[in-house]
Chains A and B, each alone.
Chain A
Amino acid sequence: MRTSLQAVALWGQKAPPHSITAIMITDDQRTIVTGSQEGQLCLWNLSHELKISAKELLFGHSASVTCLARARDFSKQPYIVSAAENGEMCVWNVTSGQCVEKATLPYRHTAICYYHCSFRMTGEGWLLCCGEYQDVLIIDAKTLAVVHSFRSSQFPDWINCMCIVHSVRIQEDSLLVVSVAGELKVWDLSSSINGIQEKRDVYEKESKFLESLNCQTIRFCTYTERLLLVVFSKCWKVYDYCDFSLLLTEVSRNGQFFAGGEMIAAHRILIWTEDGHSYIYQLLNSGLSKSLYPADGRVLKESIYPHLLCSTSVQENKSRPFVMGYMNERKEPFYKVLFSGEVSGRITLWHIPDVPVSKFDGSPREIPVTTTWTLQDNFDKHDAVSQSIIDYFSGLKDGAGTAVVTSSEYIPSLDKLICGCEDGTIIITQALNAAKARLLEGGSLVKDSPPHKVLKGHHQSVTSLLYPHGLSSKLDQSWMLSGDLDSCVILWDIVTEEILHKFFLEAGAVTSLLMSPEKFKLRGEQIICCVCSDHSVALLHLEGKSCLLRARKHLFPVRMIKWHPVENFLIVGCADDSVYIWEIETGTLERHETGERARIILNCCDDSQLVKSVLPIASETLKHKSIEQRSSSPYQLGPLPCPSLQVESSCKVADAKFCPRPFNVLPVKTKWSNVGFHILLFDLENLVELLLPTPLSDVDSSSSFYGGEVLRRAKSTVEKKTLTLRKSKTACGPLSAEAQAKPITESLSQGDNTIKFSEENDGIKRQKKMKISKKMQPKPSRKVDASLTVDTAKLFLSCLLPWGVDKDLDYLCIKHLNILKLQGPISLGLASNEDHFSLMLPGWDVCNTEMIKDYSGVNLFSRKVLDLSDKYRATLPDQVGIPRGLENNCDSLQESNTIVYLLSRLFLVNKLVNMPLELACRVGRLQDGNDVSDVWCTLGKLTDFCSFRMECAHNKVRSAGNDILNMSSFYGCSRNGKNESHVPEADLSLLKLISCWRDQSVQVTEAIQAVLLAEVQQHMKCLGKIPVNSQPVSMAENGNCEMKQMLPKLEWTEELELQCIRNTLPLQTPVSPVKHDSNSNSANFQDVEDMPDRCVLEESESPGEPRHHSWIAKVCPCKVS
């Protein structure tokens, strides 16, 4: 995920399924971490009173999570590691929810132990791993690279479980493991560190056959340093650690399977079972040491025996298996906690008394459940927050309950969200409106029944949707396909809302609808492929309204569809790795291959590039994938389905290639259930880019800004249209660059124009103007974007503002920025890299225990935000020069100016906090020097620095550096250049402050909110203080930059109105952007720059030149004013 992408999750009423497969409590005992079969991790807040509340979901694994463990000394870094079924490993920061490190190794781990020996080891320590491979792997905790392994000299086998024995007595750490075959092995740990680091083979010191299978846990008693507890699925045994002689065996009764155990005190043992029961035993000693016959445990008379003291159990709901754990180091209020997670997603805690005792009559005492909680409880408790994006509309429809969305699809080009419901209806809405109605408070403005359509044709729940035009621009824009549970596929015209054709496939539920690639055509048309739940595949010809092929021989679910254009073959890859080749024309099965041959067929298709793969996993979101042409997909289809929400991959697609748009909706569907939710994606960079008429006043940066993207986009064949769209969008961008070349007088006259316009714009004339513009026949597609952009920006700001912190501020925001208050706290997403991100859950805000309750505010990300915000405001110069002076002239103008300013600030903060550390250091150093030197010197340094980065030609870093410059220079511009000598300085100190935050590991979201709050407060304060004083004359004195900003803004405000009217019209075919000439400047916009030219420009540039440009960037605005 691109860092400038901000995500907001719109959950439904139902929580996403979370079948817990692993559970742990962090060392600070504030957080419970669970891993799920679906592949997500969940962080739960554990309060001092042992109350649980879910905080956030971490996405990243594409397969079931197998184990969790801490990955650092927790008091220093709150890191944990997770491993998944497919070999993925991730290190997460539990506090921020960010993925710190990730790796995919060809090993499946079932248990991980963190080991660190501070005085013998450099680095962050080791992760000792065992699983479906021989012996024990040693993985570096920081880099996740394999360091070495502990080898067995005898009977190497998979290892089931392990524990680290830290014996104070002999000052040596040992690793105890039990293999699948029941072999206990011991390795020296601390004394073999050197050997491991030198990659020498380290073999076990001792081994002993334990004569039982399926070992679950091995635990060393730290209290006596004598006993060893080994839990097998059918029995548990106690050994003497000194000589591994067997002291006690207890066999399970009534068919229970033991799952684990712990030594909770000297001679006191806690054992738990797979069905969620647990038992506490007292080991009664009967002359233990005297009757010992060392080295012959087998004939040993059992000298200790267990006495059951207490037990715990879960009431109903026996969904197996339970994963449990025990924690007895809780610090503040000292608790011993037994915890369990269920497949159903429920977490249960028991508070184990310090001294468990049986009842007076000697019978075991039952320990009651202390707390129990599920994700769904969170959703029920905070139901205002957990509404789906569509609830408002479906509620409107019949009033009786809300429809469950079973499938959805977002059309970026039209900003439409199509939702198929369980009752067979399909709802089509304007996505942004829907999001606003869902998120924002009251305001008839929003809820003024945004136009939505309801298509009724299906009798069963709609299981899949496809918008063909989104995949190939050649197809009719009004076509939409939907498939239902009854294997009926309907071709709709979404403009006229009528059914064009109904296909009855007479197969299973339609699990996915796909389209053949552009290369593959039959009778001049691309064809549609329907994958059904009964493993059959049907091909549909839309134009001919006919079904071409029904392939029904597949025994296993279809995993892959490939097209062979030359020979007209459909190649179907199934879950059992077999391949079926169908001849499309005749509908006959040409070949059926399994094993090696099947693999070759599928692979060679990839190489020849004749065919294109689309991946029909039952996830809606993957459809994006088919557009992307990369053959090396991040997720390889393993031999079996990777059970997951396929968000990560699709997210990647959505942002990397798919997001030339500031706003996007990502529908997410989960496996094993029909629960889905939506993620709103705001591309901050794109937003600023679109709103900002002058991203930078110099040509270079803008070209580098766009150039990369153009190149990127040019790769994709489908994007042709967006490219043109894009051109028109950015046409307003280079304006100032061009304007700067003009003599000042001309720009002054332009200023006059603006004033006239702004005067025209408000008041009665507006009505008339609108009518005129309405008449204009071809509506430039850019306009749709423009109004959308402003709306998006407002929604985005609404989402980020900490409402309710300051009531006056809220009022001012609503009044002056024309944004609406949030209904409740939003669930923000935080991306840590391309495919790892976290989403807040409803009720995350109550988790902030440090949050003082006297703030009735909603959406305050953390307490820290307020402090940060104060600090930031202190650094802000008193003389704020947010462009104003037009307050009296045009409110909307002022408003959008402020919005642009705020957004660009946020973008800058986001960039800074996310900046790679190395670069940050450089900036920091430069800033340190800045204190003494004067402004010009600083600027020179900065540009030097910038050009240095260019020489390095490190693309990523360069762009980051550039952006900072861009932003700060913009900052200068927008601050009107009133007082050049101090503005950049203040600016730099702000930069420094924000860089500081990053070092203090302030989260991005916190930083962004703090800055937003401070800026808004500052701005609003000024608004309140300063009387309306500006006049047209002073206007003209203002820098040209500002004028340029305002111009497009003017257009937008018109267009906003226009859009309102146009909204009622069903569909707008995008036409080539034609400028309306009501604005004298628009002609300039259009032909200033052409995209390809820019690319060339950038490439031909020598590294030294940018310096020159950025100088201009700094100087020009000053000259003008």
Chain B
Amino acid sequence: MATVMAATAAERAVLEEEFRWLLHDEVHAVLKQLQDILKEASLRFTLPGSGTEGPAKQENFILGSCGTDQVKGVLTLQGDALSQADVNLKMPRNNQLLHFAFREDKQWKLQQIQDARNHVSQAIYLLTSRDESYQFKTGAEVLKLMDAVMLQLTRARNRLTTPATLTLPEIAASGLTRMFAPTLPSDLLVNVYINLNKLCLTVYQLHALQPNSTKNFRPAGGAVLHSPGAMFEWGSQRLEVSHVHKVECVIPWLNDALVYFTVSLQLCQQLKDKVGPGPSTFIRGRASKGPCHTLRVR
């Protein structure tokens, strides 16, 4: 019995040493790695102030759908803002071609990209405030830091993966519809959003419901993409969506960013698993599983 006790005491010392190493060295190594990944991710968002100043570079994206070519869009992305947009719409009824473009003086902020970018920079800020010189005292400290970082990263990812669900009146009221020159005809609605790694443009064609229409008027709720037949009230008019056109284009750097998010989230979780709830649990947990188990058996 005494030998067993001695053995466990020795093991305990070893494990305590191991935990100290984990807190002092391993944690910082992982944090450094995380920082590198996230910096790489934030570069994709062309963070202002992260090195090269000046206007962010412009990228053109041609949006189309594999099926029909009724809607074509060329959108220019400058950082988190749409600086130019050209939308060509072939009206299904008369094959008339409509063309709209952004007014020269206006930009449209893509809120999703801005939010994702801000969340990443928050995460980076959290990490940089605990650089190598900082010594972690307890496992809980690491866990709390990881939880905070993961919260930011999850939010960043979710901003990109879950576009806002808007009601049709909300789309109609949004500033985006006022961005175009010539102004959009009243029977058209336009929405732009990010879904995962894709930049999406939806154009809704509307027709007014007759006041004496026998159709049951039921206003549609919020949705990312409304389907034909969705109804809403705008001003004093009742409108119904007749056609929906959705075109999209993959933004390569968004794809990269999403991969970086996933990787860093996994890194965070792995670090959390390594550290566990604290040294005592760490030691116990290891002691019960590790080589000491065989020791005790002997």
| Minimum CB distance partner of A575 in chain B | B269
Complex Cα gap A461–B134 (Å): 32
A640 touches B49 (CB 8 A): no
A641 touches B131 (CB 8 A): no
| Minimum CB distance partner of B139 in chain A | A672
Residues of B close to A134: CB separation below 8 A = 109, 111, 114
A576 touches B158 (CB 8 A): no
A19 touches B (CB below 8 Å): yes
Complex Cα gap A180–B266 (Å): 27
Cross-chain pair count, CB within 8 angstroms: 90
A486 touches B288 (CB 8 A): yes
Complex Cα gap A180–B119 (Å): 11
A555 touches B266 (CB 8 A): yes
A640 touches B125 (CB 8 A): no
Q: Which of B9-17, B70-78, B241-249, B273-281 contacts A (4 or more CB under 8 A)?
A: B273-281
B133 touches A (CB below 8 Å): yes
B32 touches A (CB below 8 Å): no
From residue 151 to 183 of chain B, which have CB atoms closer than 8 A to chain A? 151, 154-155, 158, 161
Q: How far is the CB of A559 from chain B (nearest CB, A)?
A: 12
Residues of A close to B131: CB separation below 8 A = 255
A257 touches B129 (CB 8 A): yes
Q: Could you give, for residues 233-273 of chain A, a 1 whenever the CB lies within 8 Å of some chain B CB and a 0 otherwise?
A: 10000000000000000000001010000000000000000
Residues of B close to A182: CB separation below 8 A = 48-49
A509 touches B (CB below 8 Å): yes
Q: Which of B49, B109, B125, B161 contacts A595 (CB 8 A)?
A: B161
Q: A156-B109, A255-B131, A596-B161 are in contact. Are A674 and B147 (CB under 8 A)?
A: no
| Minimum CB distance partner of B196 in chain A | A595
The SS class assigned to the B binding surface is helix
A948 touches B (CB below 8 Å): no
Q: Which of B125, B273, B281 contacts A233 (CB 8 A)?
A: B125
Q: Which of B121, B143, B265, B288 contacts A576 (CB 8 A)?
A: B265
Complex Cα gap A678–B131 (Å): 39
Residues of B close to A320: CB separation below 8 A = 129-130, 134
Complex Cα gap A101–B285 (Å): 44
Residues of B close to A885: CB separation below 8 A = none
B118 touches A158 (CB 8 A): yes
Complex Cα gap A376–B272 (Å): 26
| Minimum CB distance partner of B115 in chain A | A132
Q: A595-B161, A674-B277 are in contact. Are A180 and B265 (CB under 8 A)?
A: no
A508 touches B48 (CB 8 A): no
A485 touches B129 (CB 8 A): no
Residues of B close to A255: CB separation below 8 A = 131, 133
From residue 120 to 142 of chain B, which have CB atoms closer than 8 A to chain A? 121, 125, 129-131, 133-135, 137, 140-141
Q: How far is the CB of B42 from chain A (nearest CB, A)?
A: 12
A40 touches B (CB below 8 Å): no
Q: How far is the CB of B148 from chain A (nearest CB, A)?
A: 8
Q: Which of B133, B135, B143, B154 contacts A672 (CB 8 A)?
A: B143
A508 touches B143 (CB 8 A): no
Q: Which of B147, B150, B269 contacts A555 (CB 8 A)?
A: B269
A533 touches B (CB below 8 Å): yes
B285 touches A319 (CB 8 A): no
**Most chain A C-beta atoms within 10 Å of own C-beta, residue among B115, B129, B141, B161:** B129
Residues of A close to B277: CB separation below 8 A = 672-674
Complex Cα gap A157–B273 (Å): 36
Q: How far is the CB of B283 from chain A (nearest CB, A)?
A: 10
Complex Cα gap A556–B115 (Å): 24
How many residues of chain B get a CB closer than 8 Å to chain A's CBs?
40
**Most chain A C-beta atoms within 10 Å of own C-beta, residue among B121, B141, B277:** B277
Residues of A close to B114: CB separation below 8 A = 134, 157-158
Q: How far is the CB of B152 from chain A (nearest CB, A)?
A: 9
Name the interface size band of chain A: 35 or more
Residues of B close to A372: CB separation below 8 A = none
Q: Could you give, for residues 267-286 of chain A, a 1 whenever the CB lies within 8 Å of some chain B CB and a 0 otherwise?
A: 00000001000000000000
Q: Which of B129, B161, B265 contacts A274 (CB 8 A)?
A: B129
A343 touches B141 (CB 8 A): yes
Q: How far is the CB of B38 from chain A (nearest CB, A)?
A: 15
Residues of B close to A535: CB separation below 8 A = 273
A485 touches B281 (CB 8 A): yes
Complex Cα gap A320–B129 (Å): 9
Q: Could you give, for residues 110-154 of chain A, a 1 whenever the CB lies within 8 Å of some chain B CB and a 0 otherwise?
A: 000000000000000000000011100000000000000000000
| Minimum CB distance partner of A17 in chain B | B140
Q: Could you give, for residues 81-115 of chain B, a 1 whenever the CB lies within 8 Å of some chain A CB and a 0 otherwise?
A: 00000000000000000000000000001010011
Complex Cα gap A274–B143 (Å): 19
Q: How far is the CB of A277 from chain B (nearest CB, A)?
A: 14
Q: How far is the CB of A331 from chain B (nearest CB, A)?
A: 36
A1070 touches B (CB below 8 Å): no
A640 touches B121 (CB 8 A): no
A214 touches B (CB below 8 Å): yes
| Minimum CB distance partner of A254 in chain B | B133
A639 touches B (CB below 8 Å): yes
Complex Cα gap A643–B147 (Å): 9
| Minimum CB distance partner of B159 in chain A | A132
Complex Cα gap A29–B114 (Å): 40
Residues of A close to B158: CB separation below 8 A = 639
B161 touches A319 (CB 8 A): no
From residue 32 to 82 of chain A, which have CB atoms closer than 8 A to chain B? 37
Q: A158-B118, A673-B140 are in contact. Are A639 and B285 (CB under 8 A)?
A: no
B284 touches A485 (CB 8 A): yes
A534 touches B140 (CB 8 A): no
Complex Cα gap A710–B279 (Å): 50
From residue 564 to 602 of chain A, which have CB atoms closer than 8 A to chain B? 575-576, 595-596
Complex Cα gap A555–B263 (Å): 12
Q: How far is the CB of A640 from chain B (nearest CB, A)?
A: 5
Residues of B close to A460: CB separation below 8 A = 284, 288
B118 touches A132 (CB 8 A): yes
From residue 369 to 423 of chain A, which have CB atoms closer than 8 A to chain B? none
A319 touches B129 (CB 8 A): no
Complex Cα gap A461–B287 (Å): 13
Residues of B close to A509: CB separation below 8 A = 281, 285
From residue 180 to 196 of chain A, which have CB atoms closer than 8 A to chain B? 180-182
Q: Which of B140, B155, B276, B278 contacts A639 (CB 8 A)?
A: B155
B141 touches A640 (CB 8 A): no
| Minimum CB distance partner of A183 in chain B | B48
Complex Cα gap A557–B125 (Å): 25
A321 touches B129 (CB 8 A): yes
Q: How far is the CB of B30 from chain A (nearest CB, A)?
A: 16
- Beyond the given pairs A320-B130, A673-B278, 15 more chain A to chain B contacts, judged by CB atoms under 8 angstroms and listed by A's residue number, are A37-B144, A157-B114, A181-B49, A182-B48, A213-B48, A255-B133, A343-B144, A461-B284, A485-B284, A485-B285, A486-B284, A557-B269, A639-B158, A640-B150, A672-B277
Query: Nearest 7 A-B pairs (CB), nearest first?
Result: A486-B288, A639-B154, A672-B140, A640-B151, A213-B49, A158-B118, A640-B154
Q: Which residues of B contact A (CB under 8 A)?
A: 48-49, 109, 111, 114-115, 118-119, 121, 125, 129-131, 133-135, 137, 140-141, 143-144, 147, 150-151, 154-155, 158, 161, 196, 265-266, 269, 273, 276-278, 281, 284-285, 288
Q: Which residues of A contact B (CB under 8 A)?
A: 17, 19, 37, 85, 132-134, 156-158, 180-182, 213-214, 233, 255, 257, 274, 318-321, 343, 459-461, 485-486, 508-509, 533-535, 555-557, 575-576, 595-596, 639-641, 643, 672-674
Can you name 20 A-B pairs with beta carbons within 8 Å? A17-B140, A85-B151, A132-B118, A133-B115, A181-B48, A320-B130, A321-B129, A343-B141, A485-B284, A485-B288, A486-B288, A509-B281, A509-B285, A533-B276, A557-B269, A576-B265, A596-B161, A640-B147, A673-B140, A674-B277
